[in-house]
């Protein structure tokens, strides 16, 4: 067993058997959804808020009922976990389906731009063998369409755009539907894997499902959610000594988005410490490399243009990812700010890398700790970033308690101290 979280946060988390924190989470989320519905300038976000507010409100009322019936079956962790899953369906999956149906019916304001980009990647992959446009092809587009010509994702993301490329414009070919299917499947497997030692990881489930930053992202854009849940699955698999499958999950995530590469690096160190490197590394490294082969063979420069030049600010247009975090503010407001922000980012990466090598993780919970704080530092210091990226560090950090009990029972079996 692991020690419960201490300090003020631990006492808040455990108050009334966890129900007090549940109540605060759902109530604050309901307010956030309502404010989003009334004030957001992004129409897909407003549509999400108008539906999600009711789901969060219903969850709030159910938690109040739980508090009144503290000794009944409604007060158990089983019910709390079940409520989190049901709330996810109400505040993420239902709005997603509604927006997908409305979009298929002709509404053009029911999806964020990344959905269209992913679907364009699937079409390009099917027709040209690569999901990317070359710099010349992007330059030939009208100026107001050049931003949408960039596809700053790994090649594997194009898979989610194939249903629409193959079957046409239907609600069920919307890329978000397939993001959601992947997320539900991978998250369910992760929770099931951890169940023998942690039957109802309520906070872990909530972190990956009902937090507004997660639910809103899935319903309106969604490309980060399957990457996140694949990484969480990889951590759960590593926690239960399934390093080969952990490598598969992490490798698939890294084949879709660069944000998974820090997770691959941390899990690789954990696997090497555990003596499981040969199981994990071929999949964790091989799958992303394999995904790069087709676009490299078809047009290597288009891959570089989309995946490297554009995110680094050297494309024909600049990225709209401009949340006011320190890296962005430094890059925009100080002389030589972009270079300074890049130097700070590299410095943070080197510091975390040194700590990773000096005190490598010996369990999946510590690996999640490295992933969470490392990605938080990167998000805060990147010159171009989005507020929604915070879903990664938040989820990783809140999964730590669920991962450590699973590994604690096996520590004596496969972790050996190093000099």
Q: What is the pLDDT of residues 34-60, one digit of tens each?
A: 999 999 999 999 999 999 999 999 999
Query: For position 404, what pLDDT does the model report?
Result: 85
Residue 330 — pLDDT band, cuts 50, 70, 90?
Answer: confident
**Stronger pLDDT, 16 or 31, i.e. the higher one:** 31
Total domains present in the chain: 1
Residue 13 predicted with pLDDT over 80? no
Does residue 419 form part of some domain? Answer: no
Q: Provide mean pLDDT across the span 259-281.
A: 95
Does residue 38 form part of some domain? Answer: yes
State how far the Cα of 394 lies from the Cα of 336, in Å rounded to an integer: 31
Query: For position 47, what pLDDT does the model report?
Result: 96
**Stronger pLDDT, 386 or 167, i.e. the higher one:** 167
Residue 227 — pLDDT band, cuts 50, 70, 90?
Answer: very high
Residue 113 predicted with pLDDT over 60? yes
Does residue 250 form part of some domain? Answer: yes
Least confident span in 17-26, 71-80, 111-120:
71-80
Residue 266 predicted with pLDDT over 90? yes
Query: For position 407, what pLDDT does the model report?
Result: 39
Residue 212 predicted with pLDDT over 50? yes
Query: For position 335, what pLDDT does the model report?
Result: 84
| Helix ranges (DSSP H) in 140-276 | 146-149, 162-167, 175-194, 202-209, 212-220, 224-239, 243-256, 261-273
Supply angle C-alpha 241, 244, 249, rounded to 5. 105
Residue 6 predicted with pLDDT over 70? no
Residue 338 — pLDDT band, cuts 50, 70, 90?
Answer: confident
Does residue 1 form part of some domain? Answer: no
**Residue 83, H or E segment:** helix 77-88
Residue 7 — pLDDT band, cuts 50, 70, 90?
Answer: low
Residue 2 predicted with pLDDT over 50? no
Other C-beta atoms lying within 10 Å of the C-beta of residue 337:
16
| Cα distances (angstroms) measured from residue 123 to each of 259, 288, 295, 374 | 24, 20, 14, 34
Q: Provide mean pLDDT across the span 256-274.
A: 95
Residue 18 — pLDDT band, cuts 50, 70, 90?
Answer: confident
State how far the Cα of 104 lies from the Cα of 144, in Å rounded to an integer: 24
Query: For position 408, what pLDDT does the model report?
Result: 45
Query: For position 202, what pLDDT does the model report?
Result: 92
Average pLDDT, the chain: 89
| Cα distances (angstroms) measured from residue 23 to each of 7, 10, 262 | 20, 16, 33
Does residue 2 form part of some domain? Answer: no
Residue 249 predicted with pLDDT over 60? yes
Query: For position 295, what pLDDT does the model report?
Result: 95
User: Using an 8 Å Cβ cutoff, are 274 and 243 in contact?
Assistant: yes
Percentage of the chain exceeding pLDDT 70: 92
Query: For position 74, what pLDDT does the model report?
Result: 63
Query: The domain containing residue 252 runs over which residues?
Result: 7-414
Does residue 159 form part of some domain? Answer: yes
State how far the Cα of 225 lies from the Cα of 381, in Å rounded to an integer: 22
């Amino acid at each position: 067993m692991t020690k419960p979280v201490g300090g003020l946060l631990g006492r808040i988390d455990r108050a009334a058997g966890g129900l007090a924190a549940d109540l605060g989470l759902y109530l604050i989320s309901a307010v956030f959804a309502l404010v989003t519905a009334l004030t957001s300038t992004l129409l897909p976000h407003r549509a999400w808020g108008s539906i999600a507010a009711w789901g969060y409100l219903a969850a709030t009322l159910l938690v109040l009922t739980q508090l009144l019936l503290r000794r009944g079956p409604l007060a158990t962790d089983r019910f709390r976990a079940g409520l989190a899953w049901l709330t996810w369906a109400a505040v993420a999956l239902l709005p997603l389906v509604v927006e997908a149906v409305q979009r298929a019916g002709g509404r053009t304001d029911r999806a964020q731009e990344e959905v269209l980009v992913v679907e364009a990647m699937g079409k390009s992959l099917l027709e040209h063998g690569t999901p990317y446009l070359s710099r010349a092809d992007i330059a030939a587009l009208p100026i107001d369409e050049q931003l949408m010509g960039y596809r700053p994702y790994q090649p594997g993301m194009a898979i989610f755009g194939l249903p629409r490329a193959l079957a046409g414009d239907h609600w069920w070919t919307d890329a978000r539907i397939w993001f959601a299917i992947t997320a539900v499947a991978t998250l369910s497997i992760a929770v099931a894997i951890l169940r023998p030692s942690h039957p109802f990881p309520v906070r872990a489930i909530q972190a990956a499902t009902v937090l507004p930053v997660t639910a809103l992202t899935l319903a309106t854009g969604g490309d980060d959610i399957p990457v996140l849940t694949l990484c969480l699955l990889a951590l759960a698999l590593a926690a239960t000594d399934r390093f080969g499958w952990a490598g598969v999950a992490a490798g698939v995530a890294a084949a879709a988005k660069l944000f998974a590469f820090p997770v691959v690096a941390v899990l690789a160190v954990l696997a090497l410490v555990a003596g499981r490197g040969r199981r994990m590394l071929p999949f964790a490294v091989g799958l992303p490399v394999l995904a790069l082969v087709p676009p490299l063979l078809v047009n290597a420069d288009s891959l570089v243009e989309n995946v490297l030049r554009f995110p680094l600010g050297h494309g024909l247009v600049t990225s709209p990812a401009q949340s006011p975090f320190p890296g962005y503010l430094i890059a925009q407001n100080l002389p030589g700010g972009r270079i300074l922000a890049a130097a700070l980012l590299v410095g943070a990466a080197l510091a975390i890398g040194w700590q990773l090598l000096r005190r490598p993780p010996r369990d999946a919970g510590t690996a999640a700790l490295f992933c969470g704080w490392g990605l938080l530092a990167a998000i805060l210091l990147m010159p171009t970033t989005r507020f929604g990226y915070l879903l990664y560090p938040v989820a990783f950090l809140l999964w730590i308690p669920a991962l450590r009990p699973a590994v604690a029972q096996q520590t004596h079996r496969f972790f050996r101290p190093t000099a």
